[in-house]
């Protein structure tokens, strides 16, 4: 009997057959997440109802050394929830209850399967919301947001998921349920919350999330500004930030992205724009008014030839429609595309965008740029036609080259989509072996047997060494270097 068969038999017995999927056809539903280029049919799916189910499942896996992968709504874009053929996929989407809303202390406790916008829906009647806003927020789960440390257009002002999580319940890879953090700020001991948020499922399975709620702004003002060039739009962005204004969002789109959006949703962006900025201000009415004057001034000062201000929610929605539909809209001008995700220091924007254009030209590949300009988080869309010989390879080369540009310009290989299955191979371009070993030492502390979402994040998982230190000067990280698990 294989290890997986033992786990299957054990879990079917303890959880009951309706919690456990073994039918090949049904298993296929879970073969990928939002990054469809990688597909693996899981060996077994468990539909967890509560933390006990998760603990039971993880314990069975630990006992038989069977890998497990947790999955929320499956909207991730780096293949972080890609299953294992000989492993268990723990589906968290049925754990979808909001456990507690404490408006006075601005906290909520939710199951990991709770949908991002579901929490905002439940708290907005009281004037609060959950700030992280990935574009998948109407379907993605908060557990998934925690795993990937999700961001969104409004992260410039409000930060990433990690800035909004104050506590987690976690089933460790050994099957222990521990509480990390809580509702109080700055608890004593190591701040493991930070390490867990964004750990992409490699340190265990989160079964409860305590989040900070944010006050809904009194006023929101949305500005659309058309510029002749990316350089002008970049200069305006820098001027706004340098003035000390922190807009809720500053989004940029280049000419090709604008063309795609116009073709798809007729958003009516300024004619002849080489770039547009969508700038959103929010907060107290008086604050917004003051910031608005500054933003308009810096846009005009840096060559904005047209600016529009949304007069109401309908006009605001139209401005955002162009931006939000841009990814899908690119389908109108290209049969296939890769969504890349990288970060650069904001001030390197003009340089990197020129380098991206050069790189595309060199390979005969078109690249549309849609990005969070305020914090330098790029989302280049690399266009290709799969029916053309060698097109996908060229596109992948350009997509990879863009990450190299991000690194050499002082940035990083992912802004908010995560490393997952997709970018593990790029990690050594960014980190030294010592750096990666230090991270993996932490992984070994939680998951010495590499059963928790193995194969993600790290390109070469390392054997978690023998107890070191008795030999003088030796260190687990150095010792581990001699052997690779896979």
Residues 38 to 67 in contact with its own copies, rule: CB under 8 A:
59, 62-65
Give me the least distance between CB of 233 and its own copies, in Å please: 17
Cβ count within 10 A of residue 104: 6
- Side-chain half-sphere exposure of 333, counting CA atoms within 13 A: 22
Give me the least distance between CB of 411 and its own copies, in Å please: 5
Q: How large is the angle between the packed helices 255-265 and 313-324, nearest 10 degrees?
A: 120
Give me the least distance between CB of 333 and its own copies, in Å please: 30
User: Toward its own copies, which CB reaches closer, 93 or 135?
Assistant: 135
Binding of its own copies at residue 419 (CB under 8 A)?
A: yes
Restricted to residues 123-142, the positions that interact with its own copies (CB under 8 A) are: 127
Helix segments in 124-200, DSSP class H? 142-148, 155-158, 192-196
- Side-chain half-sphere exposure of 338, counting CA atoms within 13 A: 25
> How many residues sit close enough to its own copies to count as binding (CB under 8 A)?
104
Restricted to residues 74-133, the positions that interact with its own copies (CB under 8 A) are: 104-106, 127
Restricted to residues 6-25, the positions that interact with its own copies (CB under 8 A) are: none
227 sits in which H/E element: strand 219-227
Helix segments in 185-227, DSSP class H? 192-196
Going residue by residue from 326 to 355, which x/- string records binding to its own copies, judged by CB under 8 A?
-----------------xxxxx--------
User: Toward its own copies, which CB reaches closer, 93 or 210?
Assistant: 210
Give me the least distance between CB of 131 and its own copies, in Å please: 13
Give me the least distance between CB of 59 and its own copies, in Å please: 7
Give me the least distance between CB of 478 and its own copies, in Å please: 7
User: Toward its own copies, which CB reaches closer, 364 or 410?
Assistant: 410
415, 454, 455, 461: which one binds its own copies (CB under 8 A): 415
88 sits in which H/E element: strand 88-91
Helix segments in 390-463, DSSP class H? 391-408, 427-430, 433-446
Binding of its own copies at residue 385 (CB under 8 A)?
A: no
Give the three-state DSSP class for 93. coil
122 sits in which H/E element: helix 116-123
Restricted to residues 426-485, the positions that interact with its own copies (CB under 8 A) are: 427, 430-432, 434-436, 438-439, 441-446, 448-449, 457-458, 464-469, 472-473, 475-478
Q: How large is the angle between the packed helices 285-301 and 230-242, nearest 10 degrees?
A: 140
Give the three-state DSSP class for 164. helix
Restricted to residues 230-259, the positions that interact with its own copies (CB under 8 A) are: 238, 241-242, 244-245
Binding of its own copies at residue 218 (CB under 8 A)?
A: yes
Restricted to residues 139-198, the positions that interact with its own copies (CB under 8 A) are: 149, 151, 160, 162, 172, 174-180, 182-195, 197-198
For 32, the token pair is 């990928």
9, 85, 263, 286: which one binds its own copies (CB under 8 A): 286
User: Toward its own copies, which CB reaches closer, 322 or 418?
Assistant: 418
Cα-based angle 95, 100, 102 (whole degrees, multiple of 5) = 150
User: Toward its own copies, which CB reaches closer, 10 or 93?
Assistant: 10
Give the integer Cα–Cα distance in Å for 444 and 62: 14
CA 11 to each of CA 200, 265, 479: distance values in angstroms, whole numbers, following the listed order: 24, 48, 37
99, 410, 484, 485: which one binds its own copies (CB under 8 A): 410
Give the three-state DSSP class for 399. helix
Restricted to residues 307-326, the positions that interact with its own copies (CB under 8 A) are: none
């Amino acid at each position: 009997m294989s290890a997986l068969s033992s786990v299957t038999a054990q879990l079917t017995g303890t959880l009951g057959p309706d919690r456990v999927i073994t039918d090949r056809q049904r298993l296929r539903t879970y073969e990928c997440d939002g990054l469809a280029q990688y597909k693996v049919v899981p060996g077994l799916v468990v539909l967890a109802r509560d933390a006990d189910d998760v603990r039971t499942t993880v314990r069975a896996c630990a006992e038989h050394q069977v890998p497990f992968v947790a999955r929320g709504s499956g909207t991730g874009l780096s293949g972080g929830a890609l299953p294992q053929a000989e492993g268990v996929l723990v589906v968290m989407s049925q754990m979808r209850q909001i456990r507690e809303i404490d408006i006075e202390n601005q906290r909520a406790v939710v199951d990991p399967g709770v949908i991002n916008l579901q929490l905002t829906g439940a708290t907005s009647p009281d004037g609060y919301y959950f700030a992280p806003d990935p574009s998948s927020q109407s379907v993605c789960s908060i557990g998934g947001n925690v795993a990937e440390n999700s961001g969104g257009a409004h992260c410039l002002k409000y930060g990433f998921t990690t800035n909004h999580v104050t506590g987690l319940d976690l089933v460790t890879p050994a099957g222990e349920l521990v509480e990390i953090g809580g509702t109080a700020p700055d608890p004593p001991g190591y701040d493991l919350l930070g390490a867990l948020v964004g750990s992409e499922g490699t340190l265990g399975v989160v079964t409860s999330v305590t989040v900070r709620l944010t006050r809904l702004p009194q006023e929101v003002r949305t500005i659309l500004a058309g510029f002749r060039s990316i350089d002008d739009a970049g200069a305006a962005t820098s001027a706004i930030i340098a003035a000390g204004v922190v807009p809720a969002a500053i989004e940029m789109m280049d000419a090709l992205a604008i063309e795609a959006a116009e073709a798809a949703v007729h958003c009516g962006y300024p004619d002849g724009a080489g770039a547009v900025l969508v700038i959103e201000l929010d907060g107290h009415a008086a604050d917004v008014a003051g910031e608005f004057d500054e933003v308009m001034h810096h846009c005009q000062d840096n060559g904005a030839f047209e600016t529009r201000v949304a007069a109401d929610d309908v006009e605001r929605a139209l401005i955002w429609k162009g931006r939000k539909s841009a990814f899908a809209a690119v389908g109108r001008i290209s049969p296939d595309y890769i969504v890349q995700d990288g970060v650069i220091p904001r001030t390197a924007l003009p340089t990197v965008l020129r380098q991206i254009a050069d790189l595309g030209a060199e390979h005969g590949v078109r690249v549309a740029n849609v990005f969070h300009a305020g914090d330098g988080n790029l989302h280049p869309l690399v266009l290709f036609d799969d029916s053309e010989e060698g097109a996908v390879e060229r596109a992948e080369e350009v997509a990879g080259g863009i990450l190299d540009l991000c690194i050499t310009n002082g940035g990083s290989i992912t802004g908010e989509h995560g490393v997952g299955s997709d970018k593990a191979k790029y990690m050594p371009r960014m980190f030294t072996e010592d750096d990666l070993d230090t991270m993996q030492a932490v992984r070994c502390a939680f998951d010495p047997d590499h059963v928790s979402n193995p194969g993600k994040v790290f390109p070469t998982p390392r054997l978690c060494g023998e107890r070191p230190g008795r030999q003088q000067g030796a260190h687990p990280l150095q010792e581990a270097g001699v052997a690779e698990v896979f």
